[in-house]
Copies of this chain bind each other. A is one copy, B any other.
Amino acid sequence: MKFTKRQEEIVKIVKAGQPVTSEALAEKLGVTRAALRADLAILTMTGTLDARPKVGYVYLGKKLDSDILANLSKIRVGEIMSKPVTVNDATTVYDAIVYLFLNDVGTLFVENDGILVGAVSRKDFLKIAIGGTDIHKVPIGVIMTRMPNIVYGFPEDSAYTLAKKIIEHEIDSIPIVEKVNDSDDEKVNLKIVGKISKTNITKLFVKLGENN
């Protein structure tokens, strides 16, 4: 792994005037602190810099092999996914909310004959619950996000790819599906086999740190 140009610049600034806070680094480089997060995380993890609480960054000079981070993309989602919680599209919004609480999940996936047709998040439910709709009468099929507007993944996708999709689409959870052929026509349907959420990714992050 080679450091990027900006990462090299950060190392140079820290070497010249350590300890250097991330605020000072951001100012010198003319960027926001948020923009430096990834660079500082990489430099800290490779042992090039050390982050001293309440002091700032100092030069440590190690350069650990970061191929291990490249291998993040080899962890398949099929290995870390959870069981999905699904309801039929005729379920009332109220019953669906109760089911959401009983299963303690953030998103319900909606199926019809085992085929993925929609998704409803806690956020969607909250919006409808304060909107004056009679949640005892309206079926979930009316308020759900409907296919093809659902972001999904396959068991062989990498955890990294789907974590990226979660961030890009600003969603909490992605259904993991398998393709099934409809016997009547040539249409390909999606059967839901799992789900991956920010919780799965956070758990993986904790597990990776635990081994050491």
Contacts and interface: CB of A to CB of B under 8 A. Distances in A.
Interface of A: 1, 4, 22, 33, 37-38, 40-42, 44-47, 50-51, 53-54, 64-76, 78-80, 94, 97, 100-101, 104, 122-123, 125-127, 129-130, 135, 155-156, 160, 163-164, 166-167, 170, 198-199, 201-212
A33 B79 CA distance: 8
Nearest to A74: B44
A130 B123 contact: no
A143 to B, nearest CB: 14
Oligomeric state, in number of copies? 2
Name the residue among A1, A4, A54, A206 with the largest chain B CB count within 10 angstroms: A206
Contacts of A79: 22, 33, 37, 40-41, 51
B156 A41 contact: no
A5 to B, nearest CB: 13
A122 B212 CA distance: 35
